[in-house]
Amino acid sequence: MLKVGVPDAVDPDLLRLLPEGISLELIPLQPERTVEVEFWITPPWTHQSEQQFPFLHGLRVAQATVAGVDGLLKLIPPDVVLCDARGVHTISTAEWTVAAILASTKYFPLFDDLRHTGVWARRKEAQERYYSLHPPVKRPYPHVLCEELHGQRVLIVGYGAIGRAIEERLQPFGVQFVRIARTVRDGVFGVEELPDLLPSADVVILIVPFTRETTHMIGERELALMKQGALLVNAARGPVVQTDALLAALHQGRIRAAIDVTDPEPLPDAHPLWSAPNLLITPHVAGSTPMFMVRAMEFAASQIGRYLRREPLENVVSGEY
């Protein structure tokens, strides 16, 4: 009988999603004894996987519960098949991205600050924010207090499943799309075209995996190429953007940004990013919805079924992620 290891913190109701014909081993997040498991459903966080892994014997398959497995790659040996959970975060990350873009263009962080101070007259700060990002030849009448997304040129860097989901959700807003991916195909540019496409983009969305190639994909050179006042949205991994270069561009008023991921992460108390201007920041929360583990366990269940039927597993990670 196939022995399947699952973190004991998983909701028991979700365990019912797993197929019959397996022997389930509930593994404490901090084990004290060795456990025989052939198929391991990993915890969502790398540090918890690092605590469990040394206690696992007989392991042949490690099924991640998250899409990004850069941390697990350093942990799982080559003789163990590692599968990511690509698709689990597609809806939640796409929704966060759209929300971040709208919140930034409508100046919601500024107006929320206004609400806490209770000073209506502070709304005029929005016009100064707009003019600093988009220096006008002459100031329009009446004043601009927020922006429209309609008609904007959106560059999606990493046109995979999540990139497509973001596009689907932004389409009703009447934006123009430009797409970049590792593989060139009809309607999708290659990564090497990034420098040529940045200057014309109003919104740049990063949704690439974290690899050696994508580390510091956006640095001082790329930020300098971006249009004055453009919005950079990082829903990928923190190190995809060079932090010092981002801070400099934000303080210079060159661009604005919305990020759910940082480098370093967790972001230390009093780090300069916390107080940077023109920045909307959330502490890596985009995928943490009530449906996260539901989708993760549903996918793990389907993978166990394939394994039992001796069918090829999906989302097998080979080489660098």
Model confidence over 152-205: pLDDT tens digits? 999 999 999 999 999 999 999 999 999 999 999 999 999 999 999 999 999 999
**Containing structural domain, residue 35:** 2-88+289-308
Per the domain annotation, does 172 fall within a domain? yes
Residues 152 and 261 in one domain: yes
pLDDT of residue 52: 97
What would the pLDDT profile of 256-271 be if each residue is shown by its tens digit? 999 999 999 999 999 9
Q: Which two tokens stand for residue 285?
A: 């929360």
Q: Which is catalytic among the residues 36, 168, 265, 320?
A: 265
147 annotated active-site = no
Q: d(Cα 191, Cα 210) in Å, to the nearest integer?
A: 14
Per the domain annotation, does 118 fall within a domain? no
Residues 250 and 211 in one domain: yes
Mean of per-residue pLDDT scores for the chain? 95
265 annotated active-site = yes
Residues 47 and 157 in one domain: no
pLDDT of 136 > 90? The answer is no
Q: Which is catalytic among the residues 89, 179, 237, 256?
A: 237
Residues 173 and 264 in one domain: yes
Q: What is the CATH number of the domain that holds 51?
A: 3.40.50.720
Average pLDDT, integer, range 108-130: 94
Q: The whole model's pTM is what?
A: 0.93
Residue 122 Cα distances to 35, 127, 270, angstroms: 60, 10, 26
Residues 266 and 162 in one domain: yes
Q: d(Cα 177, Cα 169) in Å, to the nearest integer?
A: 12
Percent of the chain with pLDDT over 70: 99
Residues 63 and 200 in one domain: no
pLDDT of residue 191: 96
Per the domain annotation, does 35 fall within a domain? yes
Residues 189 and 168 in one domain: yes
Q: Which is catalytic among the residues 25, 284, 306, 314?
A: 284
Residues 221 and 248 in one domain: yes
pLDDT of residue 253: 96
Residues 82 and 194 in one domain: no
Which helix (H) or strand (E) covers residue 161, if one does? helix 161-170
